[in-house]
A = this chain, B = another copy of it.
Amino acid sequence: MSSLQAMSKQELTQRVTALREEYEGYKARGLSLDMSRGKPSAEQLDLTNGLLDCVNARTGFCTDAGFDTRNYGLLDGTPEAKALFAELLDVPTDNVVVAGNSSLNLMFDYIAQAVSTGLCGNTPWGQLSEVKFLCPVPGYDRHFAITEHFGISMITVPMTENGPDMDMVEELVKDPAVKGMWCVPMYSNPQGITYSDETVRRLANMVPAAPDFRIMWDNAYCIHHLTDTPDTLLNIFDEVHAVGHDDMVVIFASTSKVSFPGAGVAVLAASKANIADIKRRLTVQTIGHDKINMLRHTRFFGNAEGVHQHMKLHAAVLRPKFDVVLSALENRLGDTGAARWHTPNGGYFVSVELQNGCAKETVRLLKEAGVVITPAGATYPYGQDPNDSVLRIAPSYPPLSELEIAMELFCICAELVYAEKLLNA
C-alpha cells in the first residue's frame, strides 16, 4: 500500500491488475451485503425490549400527577417526558415540546408552517418570490429533501473540521432571502464532525437580514457517543440567549436510535416565542401525541443518567463495527491517497472523501459485486455532489462478519477506481 499518485505507469498497471483480480474474486462469491442505511441492528433493538412492558394494567397508566395517559390531553407531552428531555438537552422544561415518533416530522412541520402560515407573524415563505436555505455539505439527505419539497433554494456551505465554513455563512445571511440553515452540530451526518465552540458562538452571534431566519439544530446524535473520550458541544440555547438571539434557533432530537426507530419519542426545544408559535399550530394540527409511549420511555430510562447508561450499551455494540470500517480504511487506503475521512467519536456514519470523480464509479463496482452503500451524491442537495467524491458508510446494521467483507471490497473498489483514473489521465 503506497501513494498511487507517486507510482510509475508500470506500477499503476500492476496495481490495477492486482486489484482487479481481488475484485473479481469477491464478485465471484455472489455477495449480498448492505451498508446503506443508518439502521440500528437487532442486537441494539433488543437493548430496549423492556420498555414495551413498562405501561400496562399492572404498572398503571398515570403520570405522577395522576393524569391518565390513555386519554386525550397534554398537547406538549407528559410532564415526566418534558423533564427528561429538558435534562438531556440542558434547557428549561417550559421550552420543550415532546411530540410524536419522528424528529424529521417535527422539522418538516416547522418548515411547512413557515411556508404556509409564517413564523411568529412574519410573511409566509410561500408568498415570497425566493427563499434560500444554507446547507452544510456533505449533510443529511432528508434535510435537503424537506427544503427541496417546499421549493426552497439550497446554498451549499462546505464543512470543515470545526463545522460549516463560518466566513461563508456570515456573508450569506446578509441576504434577506436566506431564511435558515440546516445543522447536525454533533457527530454530523455523515462526517461525524462536532461543531467547535467558536463555530457555535459565531452561529449564535449572527444577525441575519431575515427576521425569521432559523437555525434548524438537528441534535440527532447529542448522546450517541462511541468512545470514552466523547466530543463536547456548546449549548446553543444558552449561547443565543446570552446575545438576545433566542428566537433564531430551534433544537430537534429523538430517541429513534436510543429506543426504537419509529416507536421512539421526538422532541423540540425553542424560545418562548417559538414554542408559542408552534403550539398555536399544534393545537389545530393534532389531538396530541402518544402519551402512553412517553410514559414507557420515562419509566424505562428514569432520568438522563439512565439514558446515558443505556447509550453505553449501544456504543458497546456499535464500536466494533466502526473499528472494522476505520481499520479497513486505514490499512487498505491509508497511504494510497485514494481517500480521506474523519474518525468520528460518535454518531452513525463514516464519510469517505475519495478523489474527484471517483464516487459514482466506486458505488457501481460495489453494486456489481453485491454490496449496497448510500448512493453517491446523496449527502448533497438535489443528490448532486459537484466533485463526485463523497461516499457515506453506515456500519450499524450489518453483522460484523459481513461488514468486514463489505469494507474490504469497498477499499478495493475505491483504490481501483482511483488507480484506473490515474492510469487513464
Binds B, one of A9-17, A21-29, A166-174, A282-290: A282-290
Residues of chain B within 8 A (CB-CB) of A70 are 45, 48, 260-263
Digit string of A258-283 for contact with B (CB within 8 Å is 1, else 0)?
A: 00111100000000000000000101
Interface size on A, residues (CB 8 A): 59
A281 near B49 with CB under 8 A, answer no
Q: Which residue of B lies closest to A264 (CB)?
A: B290
Binds B, one of A112-120, A314-322, A353-361, A408-416: A112-120
CA distance A49 to B55 in the complex (A): 10
Digit string of A72-110 for contact with B (CB within 8 Å is 1, else 0)?
A: 110000000000000000000000000011101100110
With A55-B52, A56-B53: A287-B256 Cβ-Cβ less than 8 Å: yes
Q: Which residue of B lies closest to A397 (CB)?
A: B71
Binds B, one of A36-44, A239-247, A377-385: A36-44
A285 near B108 with CB under 8 A, answer yes
Q: Does A57 contact B (CB under 8 A)?
A: yes
Binds B, one of A143-151, A182-190, A206-214: A143-151
Q: Does A291 contact B (CB under 8 A)?
A: yes
B39 near A49 with CB under 8 A, answer no
Residues of chain B within 8 A (CB-CB) of A37 are 72
Q: Smallest Cβ distance from A425 to chain B, in angstroms?
A: 40
Q: Does A127 contact B (CB under 8 A)?
A: yes
A284 near B108 with CB under 8 A, answer yes
Q: Does A298 contact B (CB under 8 A)?
A: no
B56 near A150 with CB under 8 A, answer no
Select A72's contact among B39, B117, B145, B288, beta carbons within 8 Å.
Answer: B39
13 A–B contacts, CB within 8 A, in A order: A40-B71, A45-B61, A45-B68, A46-B57, A52-B55, A100-B100, A105-B285, A108-B286, A115-B126, A116-B116, A116-B150, A261-B288, A290-B290
**8 closest Cβ pairs, A-B complex:** A263-B292, A105-B286, A49-B57, A52-B56, A108-B285, A126-B126, A45-B70, A149-B284
